[in-house]
Every structure is written in C-alpha cells, then in structure tokens.
C-alpha cells in the first residue's frame, strides 16, 4: 500500500515486520517505510505519522509555521518511523507527551520536564538524516560521529531501531554518511584523534597523500581520514593495521613542536588585516591568561600585519596558533553586499488668486483739484508710476533721465493676468483707474533616484550636487588695511549615507541619512548671506531584500489670505470692493522617500544588478538618439575599459 502526503512528502510501505506497540496503545501493521520529507510543514509531518502509526496527536499552536526536512536511506519499520518522528520533534524544540490510549500531546520541550535543557536548532538550513546501521552499535557510532557534526547540529542514537538521527547542514551530511557507512562495514576500526599542533585539515591532506602513493610501504590500503570541522581532531577508519600505522604517523607529526611551526604567514582574501589584528591579540591574550592561571608557561604571542599584501604574520604557541587560524578562517569570509536604491518624490501645487481696483484723481499745476488715489503693494502695473510717467515733461523716448518712466516700465514688466483701465487729462485734472485680476496654478514634480552599493556592515556615501562658498568671517587691519575673508564650503544637492546590516533571513537593517538641499536665495539685497532649503531624514529601518519600504515623508499645506483696503470705505457692502484688493494663495507640498535594499551574495547577483542599471542607461541613450545607429555608451566602455559592456 502507498500513502501520498502533503507538499513533496512521500511515505512508501513495503515488506512486513512485527508491529510496534506500547501498553494500551494500538498495534501497528507490519510494514517498512521510506521517509522523504523535503521542507514540509511540521504539521503535515504530524498528520502523516498519525496515518501510519494510528496515533492521535493534539498539536500545540506553536507548531504552525515550523518546517522540517527528513529523509531515510533505507526502509524503516513503523516503530522506527515513530522513533524518528520523536527525534525530529525534539530537534525542532517539541516533544510528544502521552495523553491517554493512543493519544499524544505535541508541546514545546521547555514545557516538558523530561526534555528540559534540550536546545532546538530552529533553522530550515538544517537537514535531518536517518541512517540505519546493520553491523555497528548506534550508541558507539554516535560518539564517533559527534566530532564531525557542526556545533549547532545534533546526533541522536535510537538503540531500539539501531538508527542514527543526524541534524546538520546539508553540505556536511555526505561526509557523515560516508563515515557511518565505513563504520558499519565489517572488519573496520575507527579512531578519533585530537590534535594540538597541526591543523586537522592539514593532517587530513597528509594522510590522504600518503594513501595515494600506491607502494607496499605506504597507505595505499583501505583507510579514510576525515578532518573535523568544529574541533581540531581527525577521524581515522580502516582495518587494524592501517589505523595503527596512520595513528603512529599522526602522533609523531603532532608531537613535533618546532620553532618554525609556531610561525604563520596567512594571506587574507576578503577581510582587512588591520581590522583583524586587534581581535586576534585579544584572543591570544585570553588564552595566555588561562594558561597562567592553570600554572602553565606564559609564552607571549606576536601578531602583525603587512598592508601591501593584506597578510597576517603570527608567532604564537601551537595551541594558540591553531585557535587563531580557526578564528581567521571564520572572519575571512566573502562578505555580502547590499544595493541600496532610494526614490525621492516631491510634488507641489501652488494656486493664487488676486482681484483689485486702483484709481487716481489729481490736479496739475495750480489746479485746486484734490489728490486722491488708491494703491496696493501687490498690484501691477502701478497706477502712480504710470501717471507720473505720462504727466512728466520728459517723454518716454527721450534720452534724458525720467525716474517715473523707469518705474513705469518696471511696473509693466511685472504685469500678470489681465488688467483693464481708463485714464486721461481734462485741463488741469488728471484721472485714471485700473482693474487687475490674476489666477495662478503651478504644478511640479521632482523625482530623484540615488543608489549605491556597499559591503555588509560597511558605510557608503553618495553626493550629487555642488559646494557653495559661505563667508564665515571678515578681518580688517588698522585703517582698513590688509582685509581678508574666511570662507567655508557647504555641500548642496542630494546626499545618501547608508550602513546596511544583513541578518540570517536576508532582512536588512539600514542606518540611513538622506538629505536634499538647495539654495533658496539671499536673505536680502543688502547682504550676500544665503538661505538654504533642506529636507533631511535620519533613521533606522528594517526591510527584506528586494522590498520597497517608505522611510519618511512630509505632507504640508499652507493657505495665505492677504487683503488690502481703504479704512472704512473698504468695508462698505458692494461699493467697498472699489476700495480694496483681495488675494488668496494655497501651497501644497508632498515629499516622500522610499528605500529598496537588495542583498548581493555572489558574482552572478552582482552582474545582474550591474546589467540592469546599464541597460536602463543604454535604453535612454538609444531613445534620445533615434537617428543614430552608433551606440556611443557601448563604444566608450569598450574603448576605455577594454572590456565588453554589461549584457
């Protein structure tokens, strides 16, 4: 019979075996099952095991969202399936507690006294592997395998089914599977040797090189040497004679404590040697302190770096040297990069309305006609300037100076909207009136997209703008001799400073300083001091890779109402409009800043990001140069860089 389960999980039943049973629990049909659960919900695994075993499980809410991967290389009995199930629960922080006939409660292990102290891996990157042993004892095999398992992994032996449940990174599972297969063979011996002076990886290379010689006096026979990834030890497997010979070589090589073995020159691939030296000095100092407390000899360590080659030069005792090498190996990893793209959107809407009436009545010469006029500061053209220019003795087109003419021209140049008026001169009486009406509506949108790429935990800064000189002081000597000014320069434009930090699930924490600045103009005509517009955001945000998040923004609206009028007369109903000028202005501004981080972990991702930006620029060039068949950007890259353009 076959059972097909949720997602990609598959449980296949085959030949019969005795049933598994506990007191008061249902008996199982004799069968063998192969487990192949690839990244499935833990709840799906529980449901499938319930079908196979016949047990009822009451599931805790915390089980939701947990995912597991469980595979077996050989068929398991129903009893074995249940044992593997219990081990899987334990690894992922849960346990099964009996709750009646054929019933179990699945609860977090911290809630069960019997499972106290067990730590869950809690990561989908771990793989659970079940290995059935035919000849070797599972408990003894677990002790041999433990040195090869990552510090975060687990090895659990099930004596009843003689199986090993191994939880480790998927990349390390083949090495462990190979070792267990060798252990389970007949007439083999396995030994684990701890090393003090020689790194385990180096010892593995030496032994395997000796094996490959192929002569009668060498290790061309059947043995394996596997270096531990978590500790400085090596596992040796083979027949008794070969294991004895290999262990003799290991012991003799590792007992050698020559002066030259305490000196290492290590070239770094990714990390900066100057940054690692302080860390290594602290580690070496702590180890020397512990040796001194234990009554041992305190041997000082010397750690230096060579900047031109980015190398470390270390002279330290053997044990300290091995520890420092492991620290360097962990720190000298390829760092991920983050492409940070910012989108700044600024939209504004300015509206203004103005309506006003100006009139003038004046006499000329010795006329007894009184002078009466209305004039408002925002009105253009200016009625007084026009009247003065028209009534003056100097005509507009003459070469003589006419101050009223200059004022009138300036007033006419400031005209906007529509103006209508009448005027004239009757004898010694001068009269005129101008009606002005204007409505203004201005919409604008400013878009900018600064972006930069930086290393994980690195800080990058991007500025697109100008440096504006600012006078900060003036010094005059006696009698105003030897004057000079001190000038500072202020950066104006779009600035993006960002420090990204990548978490294990590709979420990115961003420390952002985003600034957009510009020159508003001088404070007044009497001074050269400038006024600057500045919009700045300084914040920390958390975003997933490739996700667009809003960093900040400002929505602002300002309403301005300005009325100018003649006192008393301007308040008269209906007729009062002849004696006032009304204006209303509304300004709406919407400023938003968006950020999108993209994690770049490998060369291909970096190439894809580069190609995407390059294609955008090239497409714009082709669009704006429709009549040309020459792609100048591609030609420039090929000629200057001597490399093909990104594709």
pLDDT of residue 123: 30
Pick the most confident of 328-332, 523-527, 621-625.
328-332
pLDDT of residue 213: 53
Of the listed ranges 107-111, 248-252, 398-402, the least confidently predicted one is 398-402
Question: How does pLDDT run across 634-646, given as a tens digit for each residue?
Answer: 777 887 787 788 8
Question: How does pLDDT run across 12-32, given as a tens digit for each residue?
Answer: 222 223 333 333 333 444 567
Q: Give the chain's mean pLDDT.
A: 75
Burial of 382: CB neighbours in 10 Å, binned 0-12, 13-18, 19+:
buried
> How would residue 190 be classed by pLDDT, with cut points 50, 70 and 90?
confident
Question: How does pLDDT run across 76-111, given as a tens digit for each residue?
Answer: 888 878 878 887 887 777 878 777 778 888 887 655
Question: How does pLDDT run across 586-599, given as a tens digit for each residue?
Answer: 888 888 888 899 99
- Residue 631 pLDDT more than 70? no
> How would residue 399 be classed by pLDDT, with cut points 50, 70 and 90?
very low
574 or 455, greater pLDDT: 455
**Contact between residue 508 and residue 599 where contact means Cβ atoms under 8 Å apart:** yes
Q: How far apart are CA 38 and CA 33, in angstroms?
A: 16
294 or 290, greater pLDDT: 290
**Contact between residue 372 and residue 429 where contact means Cβ atoms under 8 Å apart:** no
Q: How far apart are CA 489 and CA 506, in angstroms?
A: 40
Q: How far apart are CA 376 and CA 624, in angstroms?
A: 49
Task: For tokens 């101050």, name the residue.
Answer: 403
Tokens of 42: 């833990």
Torsion of CA 144, 148, 150, 153, to 10 degrees: -30
> How would residue 444 be classed by pLDDT, with cut points 50, 70 and 90?
low
Of the listed ranges 91-105, 278-292, 309-323, 534-548, the least confidently predicted one is 91-105
Q: Look at the chain and count its residues.
A: 647
Q: How far apart are CA 541 and CA 73, in angstroms?
A: 45
Choose among 556, 559, 555: nearest CA to 586.
559
Q: What's the Cα-to-Cα distance from 22 to each of 17, 88, 171, rounded to whole Å?
A: 16, 20, 37
Q: How far apart are CA 385 and CA 370, in angstroms?
A: 18
- Residue 336 pLDDT more than 70? yes
Q: How far apart are CA 4 and CA 11, in angstroms?
A: 6
- Residue 198 pLDDT more than 50? yes
Q: What is the mean pLDDT of residues 383-390?
A: 67
558 strand-pairing partners: 587
Q: State pTM to two decimals.
A: 0.48
Check residue 508 and report its DSSP letter. Answer: E
- Residue 43 pLDDT more than 60? yes
Q: How far apart are CA 386 and CA 405, in angstroms?
A: 8
Task: For tokens 């792609």, name the residue.
Answer: 631
Q: How far apart are CA 621 and CA 633, in angstroms?
A: 8
pLDDT of residue 10: 29
pLDDT of residue 114: 36
Q: What is the residue-wise DSSP string for 574-606?
A: TGGGGGEEEEEEEEEEEEEEEEEEEEE-SHHHH
Q: Cα 92 to the chain's mean position, in Å? A: 28
pLDDT of residue 346: 79
- Residue 450 pLDDT more than 80? yes
Question: How does pLDDT run across 108-125, given as a tens digit for each residue?
Answer: 765 543 333 333 333 334
Q: What is the mean pLDDT of residues 23-47?
A: 69
**Contact between residue 51 and residue 127 where contact means Cβ atoms under 8 Å apart:** no
φ, ψ dihedrals at 483, nearest 5°: -75, 145
Q: How far apart are CA 223 and CA 240, in angstroms?
A: 10
- Residue 470 pLDDT more than 50? yes
pLDDT of residue 417: 67
Q: State what percent of residues in the chain have pLDDT above 90.
A: 1
Check residue 230 and report its DSSP letter. Answer: S
**Contact between residue 378 and residue 602 where contact means Cβ atoms under 8 Å apart:** no
> How many angstroms separate the first and last alpha carbons of the chain?
53
> How would residue 610 be classed by pLDDT, with cut points 50, 70 and 90?
confident
Tokens of 422: 């009448």
380 or 533, greater pLDDT: 533
- Exposure string of 165-182, with b = 16+ CB inside 10 Å and e = fewer, is bbbbeeebbebbbebbeb
Q: How far apart are CA 89 and CA 142, in angstroms?
A: 19
Of the listed ranges 22-31, 222-231, 486-495, the least confidently predicted one is 22-31
φ, ψ dihedrals at 523, nearest 5°: -65, -45
> How would residue 630 be classed by pLDDT, with cut points 50, 70 and 90?
low
Q: Cα 351 to the chain's mean position, in Å? A: 41
Instruction: Find the angle CA(42)-CA(48)-CA(50) to the nearest 5 degrees.
Output: 105
76 or 303, greater pLDDT: 303
> How would residue 437 be classed by pLDDT, with cut points 50, 70 and 90?
confident
- Exposure string of 444-481, with b = 16+ CB inside 10 Å and e = fewer, is eeeeeebbebbebeeeeebeeeeebeeeeeeeeeeeee
Q: State what percent of residues in the chain have pLDDT above 70.
A: 77
- Residue 449 pLDDT more than 80? yes
Task: For tokens 């009136």, name the residue.
Answer: 433
Of the listed ranges 285-299, 334-348, 471-485, 609-623, the least confidently predicted one is 471-485
> How would residue 217 be classed by pLDDT, with cut points 50, 70 and 90?
very low
Q: What is the mean pLDDT of residues 195-200?
A: 77
pLDDT of residue 365: 65
Choose among 458, 443, 456, 460: nearest CA to 342.
460
3-state secondary structure at position 328: helix
pLDDT of residue 446: 67
628 or 156, greater pLDDT: 156
Question: Of all helices (H) and strands (E), which one includes residue 543?
Answer: strand 530-544
Q: What is the mean pLDDT of residues 579-608?
A: 84
Tokens of 285: 């100092």
Q: What is the mean pLDDT of residues 36-60?
A: 86
pLDDT of residue 377: 64
């Amino acid at each position: 019979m076959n059972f097909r389960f949720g997602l990609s999980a598959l449980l296949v039943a085959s030949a019969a075996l005795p049933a598994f049973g506990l007191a008061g629990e249902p008996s199982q049909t004799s069968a063998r099952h192969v487990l192949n659960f690839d990244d499935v919900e833990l709840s799906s695994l529980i449901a499938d095991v319930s079908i196979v075993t016949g047990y009822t499980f009451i599931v805790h809410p915390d089980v939701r969202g947990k995912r597991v991967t469980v595979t077996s290389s050989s068929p398991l009995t129903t009893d074995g399936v249940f044992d593997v199930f219990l081990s899987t629960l334990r690894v992922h922080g849960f346990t099964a507690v009996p709750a009646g006939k054929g019933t179990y409660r699945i609860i977090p292990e911290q809630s069960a006294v019997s499972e106290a102290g067990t730590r869950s891996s809690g990561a989908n990157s771990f793989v659970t592997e079940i290995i059935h042993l035919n000849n070797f004892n599972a408990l003894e095999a677990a002790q041999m395998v433990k040195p090869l398992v990552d510090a975060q992994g687990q090895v659990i032996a099930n004596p009843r089914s003689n199986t090993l449940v191994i939880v480790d990174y998927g990349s390390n599972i083949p090495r462990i599977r190979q070792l267990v297969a060798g252990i389970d063979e007949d007439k083999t011996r396995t030994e684990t040797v701890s090393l003090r002076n020689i790194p385990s990886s180096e010892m593995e290379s030496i032994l395997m090189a000796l094996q490959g010689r192929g002569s009668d006096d060498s290790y061309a026979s059947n043995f394996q040497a596997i270096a531990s990834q978590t500790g400085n030890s090596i596992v040796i497997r083979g027949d008794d004679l070969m294991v004895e010979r290999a262990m003799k070589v290991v012991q003799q090589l590792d007992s050698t404590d020559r002066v030259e073995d305490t000196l290492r020159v290590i070239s770094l691939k990714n990390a900066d040697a100057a940054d690692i030296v302080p860390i290594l000095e602290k580690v070496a100092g702590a180890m020397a302190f512990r040796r001194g407390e234990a009554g041992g000899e305190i041997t000082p360590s010397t750690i230096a770096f060579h900047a031109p080659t980015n190398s470390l030069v270390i002279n330290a005792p053997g044990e300290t040297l091995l520890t420092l090498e492991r620290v360097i190996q962990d720190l000298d990893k390829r760092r991920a990069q983050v492409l940070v793209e910012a989108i700044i959107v600024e939209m504004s809407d300015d509206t203004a309305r103005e309506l006003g009436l100006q009139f003038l009545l004046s006499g000329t010469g010795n006329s007894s006609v009184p002078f009466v006029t209305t004039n408002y500061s925002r009105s253009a053209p200016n009625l007084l300037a026009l009247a003065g220019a028209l009534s003056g003795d100097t005509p507009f087109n003459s070469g003589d100076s006419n101050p009223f003419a200059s004022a009138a021209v300036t007033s006419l140049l400031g005209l906007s909207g529509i103006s209508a008026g009448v005027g004239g001169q009757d004898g010694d009486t001068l009269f005129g009136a101008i009606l002005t009406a204007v409505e203004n509506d201005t919409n604008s949108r400013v878009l900018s997209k600064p972006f930069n790429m930086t290393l994980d935990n690195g800080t990058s800064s991007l500025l697109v703008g100008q440096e504006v000189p600012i006078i900060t002081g003036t010094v005059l000597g006696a009698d105003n001799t030897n004057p000079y000014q001190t000038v500072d320069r202020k950066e104006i434009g779009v600035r993006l400073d960002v420090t990204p930090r990548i978490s294990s699930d590709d979420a990115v924490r961003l420390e952002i300083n985003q600034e957009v600045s510009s020159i508003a103009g001088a404070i007044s005509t009497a001074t050269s001091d400038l006024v600057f517009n500045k919009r700045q955001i300084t914040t920390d945000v958390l975003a997933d890779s490739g996700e667009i998040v809003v960093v900040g923004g400002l929505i602002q609206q300002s309403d301005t109402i300005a009325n100018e009028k003649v006192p008393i007369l301007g308040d008269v109903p209906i007729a009062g409009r002849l004696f006032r000028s009304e204006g209303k202005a509304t300004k709406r501004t919407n400023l938003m800043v968006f950020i999108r981080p993209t994690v770049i972990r490998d060369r291909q991702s970096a190439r894809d990001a580069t190609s995407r930006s390059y294609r955008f620029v090239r497409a714009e060039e082709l669009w704006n140069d429709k009549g040309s068949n020459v792609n100048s950007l591609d030609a420039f890259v090929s000629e200057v860089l001597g490399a093909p353009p990104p594709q």
